[in-house]
Structure formats: structure tokens, C-alpha cells
């Protein structure tokens, strides 16, 4: 009972600290899971590590000069303090005994909700639980490794890190509608394509669904080169749908073309959607997590760079 009581006390203290840290715009942290890594295996002098999965809640003031560049932030709903609230997934590995760590946090800016630094540096394989941490280099060095969801359109699959972004509205809460443009070039013939993000599977994402499939504003064109003339594809040849077990099913997140989308061609679909997400809130989340006085308490160190420059560029690695 004592370890559990200590763990609960730690979590409650953590949440209370974040709730009082008004200067950082991190209002609270919700811990969803907290577990030892590989049954308490020791990583060199840094000892055993633990995995923490949670959610960070933010509040930002649209009138603050540092937040004004965030598009449509001023159109998002506000709380009683006049701030816009949103949240993001948090994922981190940290030494169980922080005194054995190196007091530094290695923060990787997630790409499409993923976590790649252990594969790039440690040679790990996330699909193999026995080799998730590869040679364990970063852990043996005592780093706390952290990720935060900052993209709102990441697919709801697996352990993808996501941002729950606020939605912009016109005065009085009126829905905002506008045109979305998406172009894609298939590598092979396909009958259907997702709207919004060309990547398929877990690496893909959610898209703005079409608001009115019958709207005359919805247009599909095809061209042979980026600067080539667009040819409008007759409306009767395509629809917002995709094939499921051989049957064409209406779906506001997909587009279907009779005869298929041909490889090498550039297709562009313009369609009407609503409820624009304040996507820039994701960048504010990364900023405020790194500059808050709270996350170092959570992670057990300072958001810092490598002790020496890495020998090759690491995509998505934030250094400051």
C-alpha cells in the first residue's frame, strides 16, 4: 500500500503544482498511466526507467502579443479568465530515481503523432517490445525523453500523440464555413483517396469532412504538371465515398473517382467544410511546455540540448 500511496501523493502534488503555475499557461496535467519499463531493467548508472502517459491542459490569452500570430485564436471560445483552453497528449520516459539522471530532457517534436528518436539514436524498434529501446544509449546516459501531441489532424490509431485543438467560430458562436484545397499524386492506381492527408494507414490523418457533398463549390481537377492547365472532372464521375467490401459507401472523409485516380497525375479537390481548428495552438503547446516551470518538475530536469552536437541532423529534434 505504501508505494501506491506515495505514487498517488506524487501525482496529486504534480497536478497541484501545474494548476498553480499560471505564468506558464499549463493549467494541469492528467496522468493516465504510470509503469516500469521492461520490468524494472536497469539502464547503466541511470538505473530503472518508467513510462508516463498523460495529457497536458493549456490556457492562452489571445490578447498576449506572443499569441496574436496564432491564426483564428481570437475566434475560439474563452473561459472566465478570457483565455482559450486546449489539451495535448504527453508521453515520456524518465529515470525512476531522478538523482541518477542527467537532469536534462530530450524533447522530440513528434512527426504525425509518432516517436522516432529511439529508432534514430538507439536503433530501437517500437514494434518489438524486447527491442523498443535498442542499445539503450539515451537511457544509459540518463536522459528523460519527452513527446507532446501538437497536430490536430493525426489519425486516432495506436499511441499516436494528438492535439485537441479549439474550434474557431464567428461572433455569437456561428459556424465558420470555407473552402478546403487538397492535391495529391497517387503512386499507383486507386479508386478512392482520403481527403486532407495523402498518407494512408496510421501515418495518415483525419481531414476536414465535406459539409455539403452536393455543393456546386466542390470541384475536382486533374493536371499533368504543377504549372499545367487544370481540367475539371465532371461531377457525375466522382463522389465523397469509398469502397467497403466491394460496396461504395458514402463517407465525408474520402473521395471516389469512377475509373480510378491514375498514377503520376496531379489531382486537386476543392470542397466546402466548416469548423476550422486553431491549428497553431499546437505550436503554442510546444512553446509553453518547454518554457513552463512545471514540466521540468514532471520530467525531472531542464529542457536542454545534447551535451555535444549530434554527428548528424535529427529530424524533429528540438534544441535550444
Residue range 134-190, pLDDT digits in tens: 777 888 888 888 889 998 888 777 778 899 999 999 988 899 999 999 889 998 999
Q: What is the pLDDT of residue 245?
A: 86
pLDDT recorded at residue 141: 83
Instruction: Give the number of other Cβ atoms within 10 Å of residue 201's Cβ.
Output: 7
Is residue 210 predicted with pLDDT exceeding 90?
yes
Residue-level pLDDT at 313: 32
**pLDDT for res 98:** 87
Strand residues in the chain grouped as ranges (E): 26-36, 49-60, 84-95, 104-107, 144-148, 163-164, 169-170, 174-175, 177-184, 190-194, 219-223, 231-232, 238-239, 241-244, 247-250, 254-261, 266-274, 302-303
- pLDDT at residue 124, rounded to an integer: 64
Instruction: Quote the pTM value.
Output: 0.76
pLDDT at 276: 92
- Residue 1 is predicted with a pLDDT of 47
Dist. CA 115–CA 7, nearest whole Å: 26
Reported confidence tier of residue 199, pLDDT bands at 50, 70, 90: low
The residues with which 92 forms a beta bridge, in sequence order, are 52, 146
Amino acid at each position: 500500500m505504501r508505494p501506491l500511496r506515495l505514487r498517488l501523493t506524487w501525482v496529486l502534488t504534480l497536478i497541484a503544482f501545474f494548476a498553480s503555475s499560471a505564468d506558464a499557461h499549463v493549467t494541469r496535467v492528467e496522468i493516465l498511466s504510470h509503469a516500469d519499463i521492461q520490468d524494472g531493467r536497469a539502464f547503466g548508472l541511470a538505473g530503472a526507467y518508467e513510462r508516463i502517459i498523460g495529457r497536458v491542459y493549456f490556457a492562452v490569452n489571445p490578447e498576449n502579443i506572443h499569441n496574436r500570430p496564432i491564426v483564428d485564436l481570437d475566434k475560439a471560445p474563452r473561459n472566465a479568465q478570457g483565455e482559450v483552453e486546449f489539451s495535448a497528449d504527453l508521453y515520456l520516459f524518465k529515470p525512476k530515481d531522478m538523482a541518477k539522471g542527467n537532469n536534462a530532457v530530450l524533447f522530440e517534436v513528434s512527426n504525425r503523432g509518432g516517436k522516432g528518436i529511439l529508432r534514430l539514436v538507439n536503433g530501437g524498434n517500437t514494434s518489438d517490445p524486447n527491442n523498443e529501446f535498442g542499445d539503450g544509449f539515451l537511457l544509459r546516459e540518463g536522459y528523460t525523453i519527452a513527446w507532446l501531441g501538437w497536430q490536430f489532424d493525426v489519425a486516432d490509431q495506436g499511441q499516436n500523440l494528438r492535439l485537441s485543438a479549439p474550434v474557431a467560430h464567428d461572433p455569437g458562436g456561428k459556424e465558420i464555413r470555407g473552402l478546403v484545397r487538397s492535391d495529391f499524386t497517387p503512386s499507383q492506381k486507386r479508386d478512392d483517396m482520403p481527403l486532407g492527408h495523402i498518407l494512408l494507414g496510421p501515418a495518415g490523418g483525419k481531414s476536414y469532412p465535406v459539409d455539403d457533398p452536393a455543393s456546386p463549390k466542390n470541384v475536382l481537377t486533374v493536371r499533368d504538371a504543377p504549372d499545367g492547365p487544370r481540367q475539371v472532372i465532371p461531377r457525375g464521375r466522382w463522389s465523397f465515398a469509398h469502397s467497403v467490401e466491394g460496396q461504395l459507401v458514402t463517407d465525408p472523409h474520402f473521395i471516389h473517382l469512377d475509373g480510378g485516380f491514375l498514377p503520376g497525375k496531379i489531382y486537386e479537390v476543392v470542397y466546402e467544410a466548416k469548423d476550422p481548428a486553431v491549428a497553431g495552438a499546437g505550436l503554442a503547446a510546444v512553446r509553453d511546455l518547454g518554457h513552463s516551470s512545471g514540466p521540468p518538475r514532471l520530467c525531472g530536469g531542464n529542457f536542454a540540448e545534447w551535451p555535444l552536437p549530434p554527428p548528424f541532423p535529427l529530424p524533429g529534434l528540438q534544441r535550444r
